[in-house]
Structure 1
Amino acid sequence: MLATIHDTAILAVEFNISPEVPPGANGLLKLLNWLLWGVMLACVAALVFSGGKFAWEKWTQGSTEAPKMLVGSLVGAIVAGSASAILNAVAG
């Protein structure tokens, strides 16, 4: 019975947690935004390059490596975009 009273007393305590940005976090968030911008630029460049390579391989009847590159660049853009949304939801 003593354990039940103790457990009930612990559950009755209210926690008032209000998240706030730690000091100096604005610089880190700016750096992360710049990094994300660079990653998205690299994804667009990879998309353009793989599209050109896909056209070249189709025209010359060469190997088919470009579709893998194309899918990889699209997946990279999706992951980078999701990271931005998650960061904005957490730090926002």
Structure 2
Amino acid sequence: MSSLLAAAVDAAPHLASLPRLAAASAQPSGVPDVGPGEAPPGADGLLTVLRWVAWSVTALCVAGIFGVAARMAVDHSRGGGGEHVRGLGFVLGACLLVGSASGIVSALI
């Protein structure tokens, strides 16, 4: 048995006597609770632009799926194989990111 492991085994019974840390929910004094915050004046215009961007990106995702499907149909009629799976994977990955963008941002905030 290594000396480090032996020291850890010897110290284990003494760990219970160490002082406990304060509860995680306790607020330190002097730190204000700002709450969830509020949008600044004029934020409606920014939200409108974000809605337009979200709509545009969603339309591009649908167009990307149509584009991959069209290339697959043309290549299939020419006797091509399934090389477009990679392109479809990228388009579906983009669709996944677009659909979960607000959830990802909410989780990070």
Q: 2:51 aligns with which of 28, 33, 43?
A: 33
Instruction: Find the counterpart in structure 2 of residue 6 from structure 1.
Output: none
Supply the distance in 2 between the matched residues of 1:42 and 1:20 (Cα, whole angstroms). 32
**TM-score w.r.t. structure 1 length?**
0.70
**TM-score w.r.t. structure 2 length?**
0.61
Structure 2 gaps, min length 5: 1-26
Instruction: Find the counterpart in structure 2 of residue 56 from structure 1.
Output: 74
Q: What per-residue deviation string (whole Å, max 9, x for no partner) do you get for residues 27-67 of structure 1? A: 10110110110011011011011012112222322264422
| AA partner of residue 16 (structure 1) | D
Larger Rg: 2
Compare relative contact order (CA 8 Å, sep 6+) and give the higher one, 1 or 2. Answer: 1
SS at match of 2:50: helix
Give % identity: 31
Structure 1 gaps, min length 5: 1-9
Structure 1 or 2: larger helix share? 1
How many residue pairs align between the two structures?
A: 80
